[in-house]
Amino acid sequence: SSDRVFNFAAGPATLPENVLLKAQSELYIWRDSGMSVMEMSHRGKDFLSIIQKAESDLRTLLNIPSDYAVLFLQGGATTQFAAIPLNLCQPDDTVDFIVTGSWGDKAYKEATKYSKPNVIWSGKSDKYTNIPSFDSLEQSPRAKYLHICANETIHGVEFKDYPTPKDPNTILVADMSSNFCSKPVDVSKFGLIYAGAQKNVGPSGVTIVIIRKDLIGNAQPITPVMLDYKIHAENNSLYNTPPCYGIYMCGLVFEDLLAQGGLVEVEKKNKKKAQILYDTIDASNGFYRCPVEKSVRSLMNVPFTLVKPELEADFIKEAAKEKMLQLKGHRSVGGMRASIYNAMPYAGVEKLVAFMKDFQARHD
């Protein structure tokens, strides 16, 4: 509708319009249940059909092998920063981190409480603008896992391929919160993938964990029951009351992604959107600047600065007047950031790019 804005927020973020309209049409009464999804028992057949369909559509989308469990959890990706070492390590076990931004750094810090993590590479001294070449990395022998953040939401740095742990017993763990379902991923390369839903696949409150089944069942004795993957896997994510409505919304998004032709098609759209935005930045003769190394620029979060920082407030204000919201960069890095997740239409990025060119023409 004409009242909707283009929302460039990093998360919670824009959702597909047709998904919102479908949810609206089912909000009051879901199918023939006589009630809203929010009012249903999580153990009744209607909700069971919703969560099972959501899981099976996600499995189709990401081609998830059958020896992987899919868990719908709560607590955000932040809770997984603790749950992962608690489930995969004993307190003295070594784990490796490649830190390419603030989220990887937070995951590392939390892991120090429950394991012995090493940062084997950090991009901090370059203000998190790149990703290392994997060959040169000194990985710890016998590390339980190697942790990466597949897309750093604040810094706009995205892995385009993935490191292979040197020790065959070390698994790769990835925080995919901000690029989940934005492109095809070979799940079998990972021991564990996790993502908060509120960027690409739904509202906040749902966290998805995809874990190879043989890794489940070794949690440290102090692990709270709510963080124990075994408990959730044995109970099909229904050990306690799950975030029912959020799972329903994720299910609608998965249906929509499948209807678009799956993640190969979704990635094509995402590349097109990112391309016109980065091209505009790069062709601006330095008026706009993206600090991230070109080969690892994120398709999801595009940070940029203005050569005249004093114009930033005007940029954001004028964009807002034209119904383009949430373009301010994260408070820790400043500048601007346009988050252009799956649900951001091409028209939204086109409009932003036209605005940027016009703004430059008026202020250069």
Q: Which residues carry out catalysis?
A: 103, 175, 199
Minimum Å distance from CB 11 to ligand PMP? 5
**Separation of CA 183 from chain center:** 11
Instruction: Determine, following the binding rule CB under 6 A, whether residue 77 of this chain makes contact with ligand PMP.
Output: yes
Nearer to ligand PMP, 209 or 306 (CB): 209
CA 158, 331, 101: angle at the middle one, nearest 5?
30
Beta bridge partners of 172: 146
Nearer to ligand PMP, 296 or 356 (CB): 296
The residues, ordered by sequence, that sit 6+ positions from 15 with a Cβ below 8 Å of its Cβ are 202, 203, 249, 253, 343
* Residue from 140, 170, 178, 280 in contact with ligand PMP (CB under 6 A): 178
Q: Which amino acid is at 78?
A: T
Q: Which of helix, strand or coil describes residue 87?
A: helix
Contact 40, 245 (CB under 8 A): no
Instruction: Determine, following the binding rule CB under 6 A, whether residue 131 of this chain makes contact with ligand PMP.
Output: no
Stretch that binds ligand PMP, among 75-83, 246-254, 285-293, 342-350 (CB under 6 A): 75-83
Positions in 37-66 near ligand PMP (CB under 6 A): none
Nearer to ligand PMP, 177 or 342 (CB): 177
Stretch that binds ligand PMP, among 173-181, 237-245, 257-265, 346-354 (CB under 6 A): 173-181
* Residue from 58, 120, 131, 149 in contact with ligand PMP (CB under 6 A): 149
Minimum Å distance from CB 148 to ligand PMP? 10
Residue (of 335, 302, 43) closest to 152 by Cα position:
302
The residues, ordered by sequence, that sit 6+ positions from 137 with a Cβ below 8 Å of its Cβ are 98, 120, 121, 163
Minimum Å distance from CB 227 to ligand PMP? 14
- Reported as type and span, the H/E element at residue 102 is helix 102-111
Instruction: Determine, following the binding rule CB under 6 A, whether residue 175 of this chain makes contact with ligand PMP.
Output: yes
Minimum Å distance from CB 13 to ligand PMP? 10
Distance CA 43, CA 116 (A): 39
Minimum Å distance from CB 150 to ligand PMP? 8
Which residue do the tokens 């009464």 mark?
Answer: 29
Minimum Å distance from CB 20 to ligand PMP? 21
Token output for 256: 């929509």
Instruction: Determine, following the binding rule CB under 6 A, whether residue 14 of this chain makes contact with ligand PMP.
Output: no
Nearer to ligand PMP, 280 or 297 (CB): 297
SS (H, E, C) 219-264: CCCCCCHHHCHHHHHHCCCCCCCCCHHHHHHHHHHHHHHHHCCCHH
* Residue from 6, 7, 8, 11 in contact with ligand PMP (CB under 6 A): 11
Residue with the shortest CB distance to ligand PMP: 76
Beta bridge partners of 70: 210
Instruction: Determine, following the binding rule CB under 6 A, whether residue 103 of this chain makes contact with ligand PMP.
Output: yes
Positions in 150-169 near ligand PMP (CB under 6 A): 153
Q: What residues line the site for ligand PMP (CB under 6 A)? A: 11, 76-78, 103, 149, 153, 175, 177-178, 196
